[in-house]
Amino acid sequence: MKKVISVLLIGLLSACASQTTQPTAGEEKPAAQAAAAPVAPADPNLNPILRDPNNILSKRSVYYDYDSYVVKNEYRPLVQAHAQYLRGNAGARVLLQGNADERGSREYNLALGQKRADSVKNAMTLSGAKDSQIESVSLGEEKPRATGHDEASWAENRRTDIRYQGE
């Protein structure tokens, strides 16, 4: 009976996580909730290692310079760690969500965000992840994590986020 309840709880929490991705909410909140949950280790999509703050796999964001989609050297270890995880867990799937700052055309920014997500995907496949494990998409300027209209906010929003299936 306990087991059933915890499974239900996970279901509730993950449903919660998928619904709270609002523009201003950021992604810290659902992550914290999921980390506190008794995650079943048997499910590769909910592997606790992905949420362990001491593990590099808990780091999920790659940032970019203005008008750039090049993965900077400081994010190479992060991207490689996720690629290795995907290589070692054939059932794992990731969604890479590229983002752009608010300046300019929404559709062009959507395409810019796509370039950013694609750059992370390319780096991951070069490090051994399978193409079929990765979907790169763009949220453009539509879901800013920082809602200010200044350089600090714009820098925060030039970003690719790595989300595992089930998150």
Binding mask 83-122 for another protein (x = CB under 8 A): ------------x-x-----xxxxxx-xxx-xx--x----
Distance of closest approach, residue 36 Cβ to another protein, in angstroms: 23
H/E run at residue 152: helix 151-157
Question: Strand order of the sheet with strand 94-99?
Answer: 61-63, 159-164, 94-99, 134-140
What per-residue string of b and e applies to 65-87 under the rule 16 or more CB within 10 Å gives b? eeeebebeeebeebbbebbebbe
Task: Work out the angle at residue 128's Cα, subtended by the Cα atoms of residues 124 and 132, and round it to the nearest 5 degrees.
Answer: 75
Cα–Cα distance measured from residue 159 to residue 99, given in angstroms and rounded to the nearest whole number: 5
- Please, are residues 50 and 21 in contact by the beta-carbon 8 Å criterion? no
Span 142-161, contacts to another protein by CB under 8 A = 142-143, 149
| Residue of 139, 154, 158, 162 that binds another protein (CB under 8 A) | 139
Q: What is the contact mask toward another protein in residues 49 to 88, using x (rule: CB under 8 A)?
A: ----------------------------------------
Q: Which of 144, 141, 162 is nearest to 75 (CA)?
A: 162
Indicate the residue among 77 and 104 with the shorter CB distance to another protein: 104
Please report how close the Cβ of residue 74 comes to another protein at its closest, in angstroms.
25
Task: Compute the 3-state secondary structure of the chain and give helix, strand, coil in percent, each to the nearest 5.
Answer: 50, 15, 35
- Work out whether 29 is an interface residue with another protein (CB under 8 A): no
Q: Considering beta carbons, is residue 6 or 26 the nearer one to another protein?
A: 26
Site stretch for another protein (CB under 8 A), options 17-25, 29-37, 81-89, 150-158 = 17-25
Q: Which residues bind another protein (CB under 8 A)?
A: 18-19, 21-25, 95, 97, 103-108, 110-112, 114-115, 118, 135-140, 142-143, 149, 163
